[in-house]
Amino acid sequence: MDAALTPPLRIKPLHVQQISPEAAQKRLDNFINDFRTRSIAKNSGESTTAAQLQKLADALSEESARKQWCKSATSTWS
């Protein structure tokens, strides 16, 4: 019989506050680094949450770069 699988950790927001994509990127990067450090320290092997958080961080970074590109393109045409 196969070992029982444990579901991934669920993250529930306790508070909602609007912040810029850059600030969200910085906070998420710090959180991911702390999460990885804790996971490595306790040898948990939980990679699903870290992978999902990394995808979110990458998407925020891409969004920020796209907005900066649009701003520079708009100012060039003005």
Q: Looking at per-residue confidence, does 44 or 69 come out higher?
A: 69
Q: Looking at per-residue confidence, does 44 or 54 come out higher?
A: 54
- How far apart are the C-alpha atoms of 62 and 71, rounded to whole Å? 14
- How far apart are the C-alpha atoms of 62 and 54, rounded to whole Å? 12
Burial of 60 (0-12, 13-18, 19+ CB in 10 A): buried
Average pLDDT score over residue span 60-65: 83
Q: Which of 10-14, 18-22, 27-31, 70-74 has the lowest mean pLDDT?
A: 70-74
pLDDT of 73 over the 80 cut:
no
Helices (H), the chain: 21-41, 48-77
Supply the mean pLDDT for the chain: 79
- How far apart are the C-alpha atoms of 75 and 78, rounded to whole Å? 5
